[in-house]
Structure 1
Amino acid sequence: MIIAGLSLLLVDCTPAEEEITLDPKARLTFSTDTLFFDTLFTDTVSFTRRFRVFNPQDNAVNLSSISIASGESSFYNLLINGIKEKRFNDQIILGKDSLLVLVEVTIPSRDENTPFLVEDSVVFMTNENIQTVNLVSWGQDAHFFRNDSIIACNTIWPADKPYVMYGSILVDSLCQLTIEEGAEIYINKNATIFVKGSLLVTGSADKPVLFRNIRLDIEHAPGQWTGLVFLEGSNNNQIDHAVIRNAEFGVRLGTPDNDTIPDLIISNTIIENMSGFGILAFTSDLWAYNMVVN
């Protein structure tokens, strides 16, 4: 009798928020019904998005499963309590408490020029109740430069797909890189475009050439990549109708010579959100007009 009474006392002392409810009407609430990733470059692990799962009941609930609807074939992953999986079982949320769920996605390439939709959902099973949070992202194939690279001579970059630079590139001496109107170049932290030969950027008013940071979720933050550096010996450079954004500096020109012929002509171009300077030229011949620099 003493043992039985002690057991009863322990049960009675269990806090309500720790008692697991079996009520089939118990439902969860969520901080969002849809998690958007916007546009992501293919074959690259995304940054994480997050949402919270709330238990509004007084008692605890046992989530018998939290899973990606497409299972192992999904491009999405869940991260809960530091563990990455596509499915979790028996996750308990105390009464009036919540659970943080992180989601990441890696979208494989499809060899397509335009963005494509990638959808899935997170499925929550609680006392036979099924609830979902939608997952939405857009994949974008690109030309990738994953390491420091020397560009082949007389290369032309058309505007078919974005150009994504994880490492720096070099346009070597006696070589030219031509970037056509509408091309978009996305550049990672600490990556630089070095020009020892010639750079020809042929944007237009309707289709400017874009140079910017690789993180699409960071629109207006300076210092996200290095900038364009024209090295000694570089000449016959032209940048027309371009937007250079979110770098440490826009253009650095150091091409000393004995003539007054412009080594670089920049026109109809916006250089914005620099952490340092927009244009730095020393002992060089530069002609710039119709510019916005900040």
Structure 2
Amino acid sequence: MRFLLPLLLFFSALALLPGCEPKEDIITTDSSAKLEFSADTVKFDTVFVTVGTVTKRLWVYNRNPRAVRVEEISLTGRPGVTYNLLINGDAGSTANNVEIRGKDSLLVLVSATVDPTAGDARPFIVEDDLRFRTNGNNQQVKVLSYGQNAYFHAAETLPCNAVWTADKPHVIYDYARVGPNCTLTIEPGTRIYSHSGAFLVVQGRLLINPTYAPTGELKPDDKNIVRFQGDRLEEVYNEVPSQWGGIEFDQGSRNNVVRYTEIKNSAFGLLAYNPNNTQPRPNILVENTVLKNISSAKLAFANGGLSLEGAGILGISADFTVHNTLLTNCGEYAVWAVQGGTYRFDYCTIANYTPQFRRESSSVLLASTIKINGVTQPAVAPSFIMRNSIVWGSIEDELAFIDGEQYPSNINISHSLLRTKDYAKGGALDQSKNGNILNPSESSRSIFRSTPFRFRGKGYDYQLDTLSPASNQGVPLPTTIDLLNRRRNANNPDVGAYERVNP
């Protein structure tokens, strides 16, 4: 023990010697010690002016065995955009004397806000340079954004009889409201982007593409289709559900028209909210429309004390007439009809595979009553009429009629292809009649051209496969075109939203 104190003093002295500092902590001033970067450009996808971007990462590597001191990290500060940096937890546009150990790296976080500018809706480029000065070396990484002007609606009650045009996108924050006895008309080709949780609320009337009449076959990317989605335009958000609220029709809303429209990535597609069963009910005509990527955690309505799960079409005491429409990737329900109302579906396809999450609820749910503030409302049986349509998906029972035995005459499904186990057993709700096709064998491989379980990576195509059991199984109806404006077979039309054509 008498040698312990001298040994401690000896090793303490060694630790203080200059040559004992770890090599990777010794700062070099050699001009050959340059930095390397994870990218030569930090690129932001199109962002609306005044709206902040997501945060991008830039890794800065010191490949040298010794440490370097980056004397300055800064932005040039060009007009048209504000870029923000976060370096070692400090926010700002400049950082000084930042040390990077040998063989180590530094993470720089970059975000942007594009300044308003005069001009039309075409995207414009705004850029800056992120500069690094180290040992006399000046290195740069380009920072680039695509900005776009838009009309902004933030918690706004729209002017009565407003018209939304396609010259610039429309962006909704919180809500945009169509007041009672007022009309909002949305013209062909208009793009509507909604922030997280935002709704388009219709107390009056909504007309989307009310008079548009295409002259030939439509392509999925047709420029005249009105499109609703979230306001995050980065590619990673292209097909992500629940980015915004949806379109809500309140109890006073009448004579709404939704045509040639795509609604995607929301909590609800079309929600008609009339919990007191006020007459006349809200009514919506839906034609040649696609609703996809619809899902929600339960949403509380402050004015009704009601919690709802997401649905492509959700009616609480409402009337929906739906033609030539596709509903797909709805995480809870594609169609939820409750407490009365009339729901008519002709030539519709419900193809509900939900590859992004596990779904346990049936695609179509009917119920005669609902609880509000814990009180069960008086039962009003809904009427459900479906013709020449497809209800298919990833679970065995895609139809659910709650207490349907009490209103079997209100359910009329004919000449449709259905996936159902419960309603193929006989009884008042049995659907193996009226020309319906139930549970065709190997159907997941032959109904549609491409599904999440077939031809993975090719994309989803819910047009009918060459050998589809839905081909030529319909009956003539007044609707003579399909979702893509193609002429239907006059005598033996196909079932579903698409008339089959040779690829």
Normalised by the length of structure 2, the TM-score is 0.55
Aligned-residue offset at 1:282: 3.4
Q: Which runs of 5+ in 1 are unaligned?
A: 1-5
Q: How does 1:112-261 map to 2 (within 5 A)?
A: 112-113=119-120, 114-146=122-154, 148-202=155-209, 205=218, 206=222, 207-217=224-234, 218-254=237-273, 256=277
Change in 2 beyond 3 A, CA 1:65/1:245: same
Tell me the distance in 1 between the aligned counterparts of 2:69 and 2:80: 26
The correspondence for 1:268, drawn from 263, 274, 288, is 288
Aligned-residue offset at 1:242: 0.7
Tell me the distance in 2 between the aligned counterparts of 1:175 and 1:137: 38
Tell me the distance in 2 between the aligned counterparts of 1:73 and 1:185: 24
Change in 2 beyond 3 A, CA 1:74/1:87: farther
**RMSD after superposition:** 2.3
Tell me the distance in 1 between the aligned counterparts of 2:142 and 2:34: 17
Is the 1:71–1:86 contact (alpha carbons within 8 Å) kept by the matching residues of 2? Answer: no
Tell me the distance in 2 between the aligned counterparts of 1:259 and 1:157: 28
Aligned-residue offset at 1:58: 0.6
Alignment partner, residue 109 of structure 1 = 116
Aligned-residue offset at 1:246: 0.6
The correspondence for 1:285, drawn from 303, 307, 319, is 319
User: Which one scores higher on RCO, CA 8 angstroms, separation ≥ 6?
Assistant: 1
Aligned-residue offset at 1:66: 0.8
Q: Who wins on radius of gyration, i.e. which is larger?
A: 2
Tell me the distance in 2 between the aligned counterparts of 1:287 and 1:72: 51
Tell me the distance in 2 between the aligned counterparts of 1:183 and 1:107: 22
Is the 1:257–1:284 contact (alpha carbons within 8 Å) kept by the matching residues of 2? Answer: no
- Higher mean alpha-carbon deviation, 25-34 vs 70-79, is at 70-79
Tell me the distance in 1 between the aligned counterparts of 2:189 and 2:78: 38
Change in 2 beyond 3 A, CA 1:73/1:160: closer
Aligned-residue offset at 1:254: 3.9
Residue identity opposite 1:35 in structure 2: V
Residue identity opposite 2:271 in structure 1: R
Tell me the distance in 1 between the aligned counterparts of 2:101 and 2:51: 36
Tell me the distance in 1 between the aligned counterparts of 2:254 and 2:15: 88
Aligned-residue offset at 1:27: 1.1
Tell me the distance in 2 between the aligned counterparts of 1:80 and 1:239: 48
